[in-house]
Structure 1
């Protein structure tokens, strides 16, 4: 039978009563379950799986199948019963995986996405202290991260027919959410996004997580199909924002888990541009963590998945992130080409027929210049602190700083670009100008709660001390750092 997913040992084998119970209640025959397993395996690219009725009988008799079959069975039974049916619930042993692999490779089903969002946001609210999930979550990277995310592109299989209703069922409750209530949820999400841009991720993160948990409660109630899709869209935006805020305050495994769940919710909403935006956030995190190869794969997945529906503004943002990945990989030619594509595509944004979604409106001319300048700045570091690439970054960064100063609303981005200007001038061996920009950045950083901003300032001041420690401007800068940015308190 070729690769049939058999595993385990025959010694001391006992019937799997748990799997048998779920199987009997499903109403499936052994042949039907085998066909569904084979079909799902092909969707996952596991073409070596070839299951038949005798193999299903062996599972019921106590044989433990190899991966990915336990995960496939979990997905199939979860879809059948409309609730989370874990591998353990089926009496199957989980294949040994690293915590990072098990943290992101989740079933792509609507009910399971809701359940996981609810469970994770509830745990976050109950245990909201810095690093609270550190022992149970690990960061995924490489194939363990990228391959599960590729399933975003796999069409969602049709749901099985629901089981026959009990006699005299209770009447189905109509969806209790009105259009004004949905609009209020959307406006609240927009408000949270504005707070994040203005104040950083530390101040309102728990409020966003709480709102996300409320939305998952609504998703567990009967709603019209259109309302359910809209709620999934709101959940995706809130989960992405919770991930972004967690990333901003340094909770990296927590951030990644929220990003993954946001992508699942975006898939359930049928919103490919939103999914591409979530993938861009995951890509940015990978660049931050020194994994530009992973970042590039995630961006290419985002571009491919939204190629026929993303607005010019969204496409421009994806090109800009592609440039950042290439810069950190030390590929100047591809980086410069992606920068040009970002600029050319952004020029078409004003001619787009439909209004942009709120989640992409942050990507302004200032953000475009800031991202592209950071790409050249990153190239400068990769190329051994090259002043040539730093000189390419300077005019773009200067324009970004100027626009953010006028804007007044995106204080964190303003601070990050001030830091960028400081690093550019340090690379150009202009420590006085670099120190002046770093000092400005510290003044702005006091207005936001962003460990990301604080960390970059400390690194920049450290670089100034290393190269120009005897200079009076740098001495003054280190004294200002001790006063303005003492070690941050827990961010929640």
Structure 2
């Protein structure tokens, strides 16, 4: 752990404060560490869970890549093979049981400080190879039998009740876009747990498939919200369980959506190679069933992966493929979960691909110039309906600030980041907060003579929401 600590640039007190803050965020209110305890960890003392997992998350975020518990020289508590990792059995009964157990543990975390199974992030072959089994046909349950455990009684759910479950999932998805994952995550997890209870009853095959589809959408949404608030191991576990449920529902395009967000998470964690393998798996598995909008979205994520690998030609081809597919899109054919991929989202993805390419490649001016028009267009389009797309609006304002920095325009970068900070006051997203602080800090570090950038960086070092309220009052 010592070498990672030295490279991080943190002091012992700063690391202790971050551990305590992350523990409170995840419900582990019994955790309280200090400088002397950090010193003992560096000297070889083995902390108890959840400390190893928290340290893994903090160092992963600091370095932009997966830093496993073992790489820190720490040990994990024994984990049940049924609930640990991502290599899980691809069978309906086990999928239902695992989602039920994991969602119940997550709900208990908030109420009682219970952390559930110790989680670490999977990456590389340990992640990609188990996901490839998504494509392998599985055994079918006998007609009329529940996909979950053998039923004790016949399930009785009416058509209106099914429709209500499906409409509530759409509502949760809109709430997430409006205000980020922090406010509604527990409600989604609670709904997910209730649906898995329904799945343990006996249902006709058609009803069971619809319930599995709702389960997959809710698990995917719980994963995305967890990713948004910085709970990366939990996010990955929900994504994996969502993919299993999508397989049981027989919905390949929905599975492709899950894999695409697993790829986004790997890009976020500095693993673009893993992201590329996941998105290619999504494309292959849904090639005959995905709508044009879904294919466009997958090409856009593919472009992001190539950009982060510094592969400019392949990134350009993927961007053009995304634009071509989007031109063929027919919204009437799209399921609700892909309707987020609008003209604004297409511009945002392509702009961020070119922005990422500017960071990864030597020709920063060239690629930042390509990023600028679609980023401006994304800000404009999201700004027209900001109440329903606030998080995306903020992200693209931050993206615009990074483009200004790449083009050596510190005043414009500070102004864009300032707009983002004001809009972010109503968003509960750790991704937004972290990216905004990093962008403001980068502007201040690169241009210490830019008073606006320095002032904003200093203000954002505190509470973002308090800053937004104070700014509005002024």
Q: TM-score range by the shorter chain?
A: 0.7 to 0.9
Counterpart residue number, 2:136: 154
Whether the 8 Å contact between 1:100 and 1:139 is mirrored in structure 2 is no
How far does residue 157 in structure 1 lie from its aligned partner after superposition? Answer: 2.5
Q: 2:455 aligns with which of 473, 476, 489?
A: 476
Question: Equivalent residues in 2 for 1:347-386 (5 A)?
Answer: 347-350=327-330, 354-384=332-362, 386=364
Matched-pair contact (CA < 8 Å) for 1:339–1:372: yes
- Larger CA deviation: 372-381 vs 464-473: 464-473
Which residue of structure 2 aligns with residue 107 of structure 1? Answer: 89
User: 1:200 offset after TM fit, Å?
Assistant: 0.4
Matched, 1:326 2:306: yes
Q: What residue in structure 1 maps to residue 70 of structure 2?
A: none
CA, structure 1 residues 459+384, in 2 after alignment: closer, same or farther (shift >3 Å)? farther
Residue 219 (structure 1) aligned with residue 226 (structure 2): no
* Distance of aligned partners of 1:172 and 1:483 in 2 relative to their CA distance in 1, 3 Å threshold: closer
The question of 1:399 aligning with 2:377 is answered yes
Gaps of 5+ in 2: 1-77, 146-150, 468-474
Aligned to 1:458: 437
Structural mapping, 1:230-245, within 5 Å: 230-245=210-225
Deviation at 1:114? 0.2
- The answer to whether the 8 Å contact 2:79/2:118 transfers is no
Indicate if the aligned counterparts of 1:469 and 1:475 stay in contact, CA closer than 8 A. Answer: yes
Distance 1:101-1:145 versus aligned 2 partners, 3 A rule: farther
Does structure 2 retain, via aligned residues, the 8 Å contact 1:249–1:451?
Answer: yes
Aligned residue number for residue 142 of structure 1: 124
Query: Using the alignment, how far apart are the partners of 1:180 and 1:478 within structure 2?
Result: 52
Are the counterparts in 2 of residues 320 and 371 from structure 1 also a CA contact under 8 Å? yes
Which residue is 2:98 aligned to?
116
Q: 1:184 maps to what in 2?
A: 164
CA distance 1:342–1:225, change in 2 (3 Å): same
Task: Specify the SS of the correspondent of 2:310.
Answer: coil
Moved more, 442-451 or 476-485: 476-485
Q: How far did 1:160 drift?
A: 7.9
Secondary structure in structure 2 of the residue aligned to 1:280: helix
1:411 aligns with 2:390: yes
- Normalised TM-score (structure 2): 0.77
Are the structure 2 counterparts of residues 456 and 131 from structure 1 closer, same or farther at C-alpha, using a change threshold of 3 Å?
A: farther
Indicate conservation of the 8 Å contact 1:296/1:325, yes or no: yes
- CA distance in 2: counterparts of 1:307 and 1:230, whole angstroms: 22
What displacement does 1:175 show? 3.3
- CA distance in structure 2 between the partners assigned to 1:478 and 1:349 by the alignment: 41
- Cα distance, 1:148 vs structure 2: 0.3
1:101–1:140 CA contact under 8 A, matched in 2: no
Deviation of 1:479 after TM superposition, in Å, equals: 4.0
Kindly indicate whether the alpha-carbon contact (under 8 Å) linking 2:144 and 2:203 is maintained by their aligned counterparts in 1: no
Distance (whole Å) between structure 2 residues aligned to residue 135 and residue 307 of structure 1 = 36
The separation in 2 between residues aligned to 1:385 and 1:131, in whole angstroms, is 49
Rg bigger for which structure?
1
Query: Is 1:263 aligned to residue 243 of structure 2?
Result: yes
Deviation, 1:159, is: 4.8
Shift of 1:485: 1.3
Moved over 3 A (4+): 96-102, 129-135, 158-163, 171-175
Q: Partners in 2 of 1:199 and 1:145 — Cα distance?
A: 30
Q: Does the CA contact (< 8 Å) of 1:468 and 1:474 recur in 2?
A: yes
Structure-1 residue corresponding to 2:253 = 273
Structure 2 SS opposite 1:136: coil
Equivalent residue in structure 2 for 1:289, among 269, 275, 286: 269
Structure 2 Cα separation of the partners of residues 390 and 129 of structure 1:
46
Give the alignment's Cα RMSD to 1 decimal.
Answer: 2.6
Deviation at 1:299, TM superposition (A): 0.2
Matches of 1:199 and 1:358 in 2, distance apart? 19
Partner residue of 2:14?
none
Aligned residue number for residue 410 of structure 2: 431
- Tell me how far apart the structure 2 counterparts of residues 212 and 281 of structure 1 sit (CA, whole Å): 19
Query: Closer, same or farther in 2 for the Cα pair 1:290/1:119, shift >3 Å?
Result: same
Distance in 1 (alpha carbons) for counterparts of 2:267 and 2:306 = 10
User: Following the alignment from structure 1 to structure 2, what is the Cα–Cα distance between the partners of residues 182 and 410?
Assistant: 27
Q: How does 1:5-16 map onto structure 2 within 5 Å?
A: none
Q: Distance in 1 between matches of 2:418 and 2:117?
A: 37
**Residues 101 and 145, structure 1, Cα contact 8 Å, conserved in 2:** no
> C-alpha distance in 2, partners of 1:389/1:131?
47
Q: CA deviation at 1:288?
A: 0.2
1:467 aligns with 2:449: no
Provide TM-score, normalisation by structure 1: 0.74
Residues 293 and 487 of structure 1: is their aligned pair in 2 closer, same or farther, counting only changes over 3 Å? farther
Evaluate the alpha carbon distance shift between residue 141 and residue 100 of structure 1 in structure 2; reply closer, same or farther with a 3 A threshold: farther
Provide the rounded CA distance (Å) in 1 between the counterparts of 2:152 and 2:220.
32
Does the residue aligned with 2:110 lie in a helix, a strand or coil?
A: coil
Q: Is the 8 A contact 2:102 2:116 kept in 1?
A: no
Instruction: Mark the runs of 5 or more structure 1 residues left unpaired by the alignment.
Output: 1-95, 164-170
CA contact (8 A) 1:195 1:204 kept: yes
